[in-house]
Amino acid sequence: MSSTLQGKHIILGITGGIAAYKSVMLLRLLVKAGAEVQVVITPNGKEFITPVTLSALSGKPVVSEFFTANTGEWHSHVDLGLWADAMVIAPATASSIAKMANGVADNMLITTYLSAKAPVFIAPAMDLDMMAHPSTTRNIALLRSYGNHIIEPASGELASHLTGKGRMEEPENIVAVLENFFAAGRSMAGRRVLISAGPTIERLDPVRYISNFSTGKMGYAIAEEAAARGADVTLVSGPVSVEAHHPAIKVVKVESAREMLEACRSYFSDCDTAILTAAVADYAPAHPRDKKIKREHDGIDSIELVKNPDIAATLGETKREGQLLAGFALETDNAVDHGAEKLERKNLDMIVVNSLADAGAGFGTDTNKVTLLFRDGRPAESFPLKSKKEVAADILDAIATL
Ligand code: CTP
């Protein structure tokens, strides 16, 4: 099968880090996938890998300086920035990341980055302490907030012989990220997506509440993936500690199921797709107090509860022709049967079933193992244990086929 990178113009930016040796393999894989690659290397990068190797593999002279010293030929970073369909900077050192985040245009690579109109993919590589330093964290968050795609470094043995997070992602995986991005049907440009995420909390009094263990990670991962594919995302979120990074995600914070219902109802009419990942509390205290319940005076021994509204079912009732509604079902037993029942009852088009019985799935984990059930009669689709980011991509791929 031909790669989605066939004929694509890619700028490969190489900065001065030990991982630059892996960029040779990355370049080879990009060229093999049919991409036209222009290498731009920083002066420090050349200390780690020679332009001769890179120009031989790319079939193009490597660009490093603003002009060629002996001929005076000027290299236009603006033209390069316009030529590219994507720019990938791998490895990106702490110092280049800082320059990109703050617009310090003191070499050809950074000026090209600042002129690039195409999506930019950044693969950091550095020692674990540099990676964990607050300045690096802040600079990477800034780059994310500009809409750049960060290809997270992996954990493992580093050039310093220490073990930790900071290893540049493997070239095959970087190519896979780019291929995914260009894959036909993946683009969600122009789509408006509503996502509910996190738990709801239902107040008992000003200091106590009923809730559940949802952390919002799955919903936020779907929001990031949809935004990276070009969608306009409204993320209605219960109280969580995860944060949304992509500038195309609008976060609407709510607390209770009733507030979540109101927010979802008001945004749903404008959306073409809604993905309800929230773990909505099914019950709320019937008589929340406005003063703290005291152990001695109030001496309560039971809490009267009322049923909360079913947000998914409410949206399912008002769903228009052409709108897609997807839900989640986290079960402890008979997961697929319960999921199939919810798919019908809530008038969903797809439901993502996950089971607490599976190791690595469910609340708080960074992984999930899901089965997708569809309303249109096609068979269920089961996936192995994957990162929540990969699961998010699988879910959006499935939604694209509905
Ligand atoms: N959901 C919702 N509003 C609720 C409850 C659930 O929107 N009050 C949505 C969830 O976001 C999820 C789907 O419905 O997409 C299934 O949630 P789940 O809690 O499994 O469904 P319940 O109907 O509450 O079933 P259960 O009896 O298993 O709690």
Q: Which residues are catalytic?
A: 212
- Domain with 271, as residue range(s), is 192-401
Residue 229 has a pLDDT of 78
Domain containing residue 393: CATH number: 3.40.50.10300
| Final residue before a domain boundary, out of 123, 158, 183 | 183
pLDDT, one tens digit per residue, over 25-71 is 999 999 999 999 999 999 999 999 999 999 999 999 999 988 877 78
Using pLDDT thresholds of 50, 70 and 90, give the confidence band for residue 1.
Answer: low
Distance 308 CA to ligand 1 centre (A): 10
Q: Quick check: helix, strand or coil at residue 344?
A: helix
**Shared domain check, 196 and 176:** no
Distance 364 CA to ligand 1 centre (A): 18
**Shared domain check, 222 and 156:** no
Residue 2 lies in a domain: no
**Shared domain check, 131 and 264:** no
Taking the C-alpha atoms of residue 326 and residue 328, their distance in angstroms, rounded to an integer, is: 7
**Shared domain check, 80 and 228:** no
- How many C-beta atoms surround the C-beta of residue 399 within 10 A? 20
Q: β-pairing, 324-331 with 370-374?
A: unpaired
Domain containing residue 145: CATH number: 3.40.50.1950
Taking the C-alpha atoms of residue 125 and residue 153, their distance in angstroms, rounded to an integer, is: 6
Q: Ligand 1 atom closest to Cα of 278?
A: 11
| Final residue before a domain boundary, out of 183, 213, 242 | 183
Residues with a CB atom less than 6 Å from ligand 1: 196, 257, 276, 278, 280, 282, 308, 310-312, 327-330, 342, 346
Taking the C-alpha atoms of residue 120 and residue 75, their distance in angstroms, rounded to an integer, is: 20
Which of 200, 276, 373 to probe ligand 1 with, by most ligand atoms within 8 A of CB? 276
Residue 1 lies in a domain: no
> Nearest C-alpha to atom 18 of ligand 1 is from which residue?
329
> Nearest C-alpha to atom 12 of ligand 1 is from which residue?
328
Q: How far, CA to CA in Å, does 371 sit from each of 276, 313, 368, 395, 397?
A: 16, 21, 10, 10, 14
Distance 316 CA to ligand 1 centre (A): 12
pLDDT, one tens digit per residue, over 357-394 is 888 888 888 999 999 999 998 999 999 999 998 899 99
Residue 4 lies in a domain: no
Residue 378 lies in a domain: yes
- Global pTM value: 0.69
**Shared domain check, 196 and 179:** no
pLDDT, one tens digit per residue, over 58-115 is 999 999 988 877 788 888 888 888 888 889 999 999 999 999 999 999 999 999 999 8
**Shared domain check, 201 and 179:** no
**Shared domain check, 55 and 165:** yes
pLDDT (mean) for 220-226 = 93
**Shared domain check, 229 and 163:** no
Residue 100 lies in a domain: yes
Q: Ligand 1 atom closest to Cα of 314?
A: 7
Residue 3 lies in a domain: no
State how many domains the chain has: 2
Q: Ligand 1 atom closest to Cα of 346?
A: 14
Question: What is the phi-psi region of residue 201: left when phi exceeds 0, alpha when psi lies from -120 to 50, beta otherwise?
Answer: beta
**Shared domain check, 97 and 58:** yes
Residue 110 lies in a domain: yes
**Shared domain check, 379 and 280:** yes
Q: Is the pLDDT of residue 207 over 80?
A: yes
**Shared domain check, 249 and 209:** yes
| Final residue before a domain boundary, out of 166, 183, 200 | 183
**Shared domain check, 211 and 166:** no
Residue 380 lies in a domain: yes
> Nearest C-alpha to atom 1 of ligand 1 is from which residue?
312
